[in-house]
């Protein structure tokens, strides 16, 4: 573990995303990256590369720095801290590549770092390929094994059984260590599961905004999501089989989502609108008014 900078004593919420099996369309890792940018998060620790990665599986990449020098960028897990001036907690953002080896040791090291930096809760993000249409809002599932968190956050216990990734292992070990943990997973349309998937990233960001009571500027991401959807519309229009399949998915989801058109869901959307409008006024913007 390479510790670069210490904490400041404030309690933290840790938001975690890993590239790989847990991250269809790159939606979760892109959400973590955007959060880091939004709050000018500073890297303070790196979990060692050679201990956990098979470089024939997770290959390093070569890049050029600002001086034009070739730099090898190794797969690793990096931690960033973001100060939230208007909240009584800070964010610690974890971005990395799913490790190849020694998952229990990896999670123990990450949880040790979390404890040393005042982390009081974990938010684990992920994305999976699913039978959902690109033309509808991307579903995000919120689950937790912590009774109190489920009541506060209106989460459900996970019913999934089967193979899991590092996010699932970390959730189980964090719960065993007594760290309150909630997971948020976006459902990416499987027929367009390539990265990037801005509509899925947008759905996760909206979910994190609600979960953590943040106010985020998502205008540019919303435009990217609209452009992505138009592109997939064109693909479906040019392929009769895909177009018919999308129509079937739309009908199935619309039937399942009818109860969501409730007074509570409408009130949540109106709350978000007011929050963004007030933030726009505070920042001197007029686009949300």
146-163: pLDDT as tens digits:
999 999 998 999 988 999
Residue 88 lies in a domain: yes
Is 273 within a domain?
no
Angle in degrees, 0-180, between the axes of helices 103-116 and 166-176, rounded to the nearest 10:
50
Tell me the Cα Rg of the chain: 20
Per-residue confidence band for 52, with pLDDT thresholds at 50, 70 and 90: very high
**Domain assignment of residue 263, yes or no:** no
pLDDT digits (tens, 9 = 90+) for 227-269: 999 999 999 999 999 999 999 999 988 887 765 545 555 555 5
Range of the domain at 111: 12-218
Q: What is the mean pLDDT of the chain?
A: 89
For the beta sheet containing 119-130, the strands, ordered from the edge strand earlier in sequence to the opposite edge, are 2-3, 42-47, 77-82, 90-97, 12-19, 119-130, 181-189, 140-144
Residue 285 belongs to some domain of the structure: no
Quick check: pTM over 0.75?
yes
- Provide the CA 195 distance to its chain's centre, in angstroms: 14
Would the CA dihedral through 170, 173, 175, 178 be positive or negative?
Answer: negative
**Chain segment 94-143, per-residue pLDDT in tens:** 999 999 999 999 999 999 999 999 999 999 999 999 999 999 999 999 99
Q: Is 143 exposed, middle or buried (0-12, 13-18, 19+ CB in 10 A)?
A: buried
**Is a pLDDT exceeding 50 seen at residue 287?**
no
Residue 277 lies in a domain: no
Query: CATH no. for residue 40?
Result: 3.40.50.10900
Q: What is the pLDDT of residue 267?
A: 58
What distance in Å separates the CA atoms of residue 123 and residue 86, rounded to the nearest whole number? 20
Query: Mapping DSSP to helix (H, G, I), strand (E, B) and coil, where does residue 174 land?
Result: helix
**What is residue 3's predicted lDDT score, i.e. its pLDDT?**
41
Q: How confident is the model at residue 5 (pLDDT cuts 50, 70, 90)?
A: very low
Smallest CA-to-CA distance from 236 within 280, 273, 189 is with 189
The answer to whether residue 169 sits within a structural domain is yes
Structural domain total, the chain? 1
Query: Would residue 258 count as lying in a domain?
Result: no
Which pair of tokens denotes residue 265?
């869901």
Please indicate, yes or no, if residue 115 is contained in any of the structural domains: yes
What is the C-alpha to C-alpha distance for residues 38 and 217, in angstroms, rounded to an integer?
8
């Amino acid at each position: 573990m390479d510790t670069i900078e210490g904490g400041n004593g404030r309690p933290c919420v840790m938001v975690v995303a890993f590239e790989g099996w847990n991250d269809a369309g790159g939606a979760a890792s892109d959400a973590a990256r955007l959060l880091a940018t939004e709050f000018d998060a500073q890297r303070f620790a790196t979990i060692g590369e050679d201990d956990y990665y098979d470089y024939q599986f997770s290959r390093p990449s070569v890049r050029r720095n600002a001086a034009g020098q070739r730099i090898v960028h190794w797969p690793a897990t990096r931690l960033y801290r973001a100060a939230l001036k208007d909240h009584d907690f800070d964010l610690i953002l974890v971005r990395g590549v799913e490790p190849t080896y020694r998952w229990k040791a990896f999670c123990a090291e990450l949880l040790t770092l979390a404890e040393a930096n005042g982390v009081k809760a974990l938010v684990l993000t992920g994305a999976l390929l699913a039978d959902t249409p690109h033309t509808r809002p991307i579903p995000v599932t919120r689950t937790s094994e912590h009774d109190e968190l489920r009541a506060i956050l209106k989460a459900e216990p996970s019913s999934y059984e089967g193979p899991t990734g590092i996010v699932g292992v970390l959730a189980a070990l964090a719960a065993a260590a007594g760290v309150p943990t909630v997971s948020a997973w976006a459902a990416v349309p499987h027929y367009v599961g390539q990265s990037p998937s801005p509509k899925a990233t947008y759905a996760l960001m909206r979910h994190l905004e609600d979960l953590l009571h943040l106010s985020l500027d998502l205008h540019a991401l919303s435009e990217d999501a609209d452009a992505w959807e138009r592109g997939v519309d064109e693909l479906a229009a040019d392929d009769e089989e895909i177009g018919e399949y999308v129509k079937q998915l739309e009908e199935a989801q619309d039937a399942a989502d009818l109860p969501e058109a409730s007074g509570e869901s409408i009130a949540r959307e109106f709350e978000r609108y007011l929050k963004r409008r007030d933030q726009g006024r505070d920042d001197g913007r007029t686009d949300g008014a």
